[in-house]
Amino acid sequence: MAIQEKVECIIMLCNCIEMGKFKCHQYWPLEKDQKISFGEAPNQIHVTKIDEKKMSPEEQCINVTTLKLEWADGNKTVQHLQWENWPDRGVPQTNLTAINLLSSTRGNQFPILVHCSAGIGRTGTIVAIAYVQDKMMAGEDCMAMNELLKELRSQRPWSIQNEFQYLYLHRVLLAYFLERHKSSYGELLSAENATKYTKWVEDYVKATNGK
């Protein structure tokens, strides 16, 4: 798929093993300069690990690995970003990690491949965040969240698996909005709305065990 769709960036939102169960094949080498191969000649694909680093000092949960793909009539470099601490069917800590991850991929001219273990919960959530972020950055109106959920599920059934991921989507986007407008958002919130927001955050934190 990466070769066919000319993918230059892969976002992986899971670990290969979670809760003692295999969730994803280890499709890239673990060691630098190590090469692994898939398929048989003449359709064999070779994957070599060039280097690995953390996305930033603040985002230690995201590994950034540079991979070289080689096949019979070509080769390409792919950036692989793995978010290591987003639990299956759950949510990570509420901060701007999702936004920072997506921002690091902007500028790609080709499709970005996003996956988790089932390709619906974590994947659907990050795709929804990317969609709304794009609209916000462009200053465009966005459809209501419930309509966005329906649209996603019409293309990928069960996208955003549960209420926690749905709420996480809202919290991340609200945090992003407040960060973008931090010089003026205080004036936008009435005392009543500020109280409602604080209560909503408190309820969310309790429901997600402190996240």
Active site residue 116: yes
- Gap between the Cα atoms of 5 and 175, Å rounded: 33
- Gap between the Cα atoms of 194 and 19, Å rounded: 39
CA atoms in the 13 A half-sphere facing the CB of 88: 15
Read off the tokens for 130.
């990317």
- Gap between the Cα atoms of 115 and 170, Å rounded: 21
**Sign of the alpha-carbon torsion through 84, 146, 211, 20:** negative
- Gap between the Cα atoms of 135 and 129, Å rounded: 10
Q: Which of the residues 14, 24, 116, 142 is marked catalytic? A: 116
* DSSP tag of 111: P
Q: Which residue has the tokens 């009539």?
A: 73
- Gap between the Cα atoms of 10 and 64, Å rounded: 10
* Residues with a known catalytic role: 116
